[in-house]
Structure 1
Amino acid sequence: MASLLRSLSFLVVVAAVVGRAMGAGYSTPVFKATPWKLAYATFYGDESASETMGGACGYGNLFSSGYGTATAALSSVLFKNGYGCGQCFQLRCVNSKWCYKYSPMVTITGTNLCPPNWAQDSNNGGWCNPPRTHFDMAKPAFMKIAQWNGGIVPVMFRRVACIRRGGVRLSFQGNGYWLLVYVMNVAGGGDIASMWVKGSKTGWISMSHNWGASYQAFATLGGQALSFKFTSYTSHETLIAYNVAPPNWQTGMTYSANVNFH
């Protein structure tokens, strides 16, 4: 086990250096990878990953929101009532005949909840029953680490920094008196603990957690340019995105934001 952990740590460092050299996207300066732990992984859907679209985080179409098929539904212990949405994990299949010979790693994003199935035993179908740590992966992601006909495999996993392209994406819903925002494509910790909105005529207004990766403000914000402030759930860093949406912003639209780190 010690030699396996040393090998995994070496590969993660190499991947991080290569990512920076290639300019793979934007990250944040604070988040540090966590130690490796043991869990299990299954998959759902088919090679198209169409069944993984949408989900409990509210990201909708995972291709347009920046996540693609490198995703997984998280068991409750990882999902954390939605605060685990957007977190990135590196996984490698271990100690199974279904693992690929050279045990490649895959980095996935938590985009959905794998709910408990109390009708099944935790070791026989109820894979996501608390307190189990489990990843129900999109099939294309699972097939990068193991043969699909294995069904379920043990994995080593760790939290890693999310590297994203194009800045934070904010999808607006609601109306002139209630703004609901889905937060996507967050780098670094990838997650959101708290959020604020500021109109061009207001101070910072605290937004409450609605569900998944969405936050809401009950305020009259129409006709104002909007700025947003976020705090990461795990790294506790604060990201500020100024003038994300113009005064004529509309619900149903998605706005991209460059961020400053504090």
Structure 2
Amino acid sequence: MGLTLYSCYLFFIVILLASVCYSQDSFVSSRATYYGSPECIGTPTGACGYKEYGSIMNGGEVTGVSYKLFRGGAGCGACYQVRCKYPPHCSEDGTRVVATDHGEGDNTDFILSTRAYNKLARPGQAEILFSYGVVDVEYKRIPCQYPGYNLVFKVHEHSKYPKYLALIAVYQGGVSEITGVELWQEDCKEWRCMRRTYGAVWDMQNPPEGAIDLRFQVSGSKWIELKSLIPSDWKVGATYDTAVQLD
């Protein structure tokens, strides 16, 4: 099931061409709707693969994004400022959300958690916005901020030690995107390409034995190498701190 070195780098080139990795100075017009949950937070079954973390990250102010923003999973973890355009009902700042899922409604780019949708409104005006169901909005990409947290790689729940390893990046700050992940194969003296299996999840059949060196590519350019990041006895659900944070 492995990829050839050629297909690995071809994959990175495709991701690079599809990436839009920058904070925006100007807002883009769009539409937004919302989905409900008993706690007004996100869903633990989102297309990005964050599982339960995806429902509570950013205080539950999360969103599903359209195909053009999801970009095959490359847009997972991106942060946006979204504000509606119906004064006097709309707050000036709107909401700041993290993309954790893929979904589209009535020509919408955002399906906001109830908590995030509520932040679009001025105090006492939320009920009016909820009655609309879909509202005109404007949005821009902004840096993600996780004070006190480094970027970590979590061993995804689908992993099966020692033959199948799936990883997902958590607390990914800034506006940079992870466009490739590779593991060092000591016996072959080469880097092996992990596959973006879905959303923000990267996987590999028959991962290297022993402590694993990992490197990841940032926005299709530089590589960041991490020695022995994944221990030889890695466990499902465990998180491994990279001691770095993206810009």
| TM-score relative to the length of structure 1 | 0.71
Tell me by how many angstroms 1:133 deviates. 5.0
Q: Distance in 2 between matches of 1:50 and 1:36?
A: 25
Tell me by how many angstroms 1:176 deviates. 1.7
1:96 and 1:136, CA in 2 relative to 1: closer, same or farther beyond 3 A? farther
Matched, 1:254 2:235: no
1:254 and 1:261, CA in 2 relative to 1: closer, same or farther beyond 3 A? closer
Q: Distance in 2 between matches of 1:199 and 1:254?
A: 21
Deviates more, 1:56-65 or 1:174-183: 56-65
Matched, 1:91 2:67: no
From 108, 121, 138, give the equivalent of 1:156.
138
Q: Distance in 2 between matches of 1:157 and 1:229?
A: 32
From 143, 146, 169, give the equivalent of 1:183.
169
Q: Distance in 2 between matches of 1:220 and 1:37?
A: 42
Give the letter aligned to residue 181 of structure 2: M
Q: Percent identity?
A: 24
Matched, 1:49 2:49: no
Matched, 1:61 2:47: no
Q: Distance in 1 between matches of 2:78 and 2:68?
A: 13
Equivalent in the alignment of 2:153: 170
For structure 1, the 5+ residue unaligned runs are 1-30, 116-125
SS of structure 2 residue aligned to 1:59 = coil
Tell me by how many angstroms 1:74 deviates. 0.5
Q: Is the 8 A contact 1:237 1:261 kept in 2?
A: no
Post-superposition Cα deviations, 1:53-85, rounded to whole Å, max 9, x if no partner, equal: 231001011368744311100011111121111
Post-superposition Cα deviations, 1:197-232, rounded to whole Å, max 9, x if no partner, equal: 23676542211110010111233423x222322223
For structure 2, the 5+ residue unaligned runs are 1-20
How big is the alpha-carbon RMSD for the aligned residues of Structure 1 and Structure 2? 2.8
| TM-score relative to the length of structure 2 | 0.75
Matched, 1:137 2:127: no
Tell me by how many angstroms 1:111 deviates. 0.2
SS of structure 1 residue aligned to 2:116 = helix
Post-superposition Cα deviations, 1:79-124, rounded to whole Å, max 9, x if no partner, equal: 1121111111111111355423xx2232111000114xxxxxxxxx
Q: Distance in 2 between matches of 1:67 and 1:92?
A: 17
Tell me by how many angstroms 1:256 deviates. 2.5
Q: Distance in 1 between matches of 2:109 and 2:238?
A: 34
**Equivalent residue pairs, number:** 214
Matched, 1:110 2:99: yes
Equivalent in the alignment of 1:37: 28
Q: Is the 8 A contact 1:162 1:188 kept in 2?
A: yes
Give the letter aligned to residue 108 of structure 1: V
Give the letter aligned to residue 116 of structure 2: A
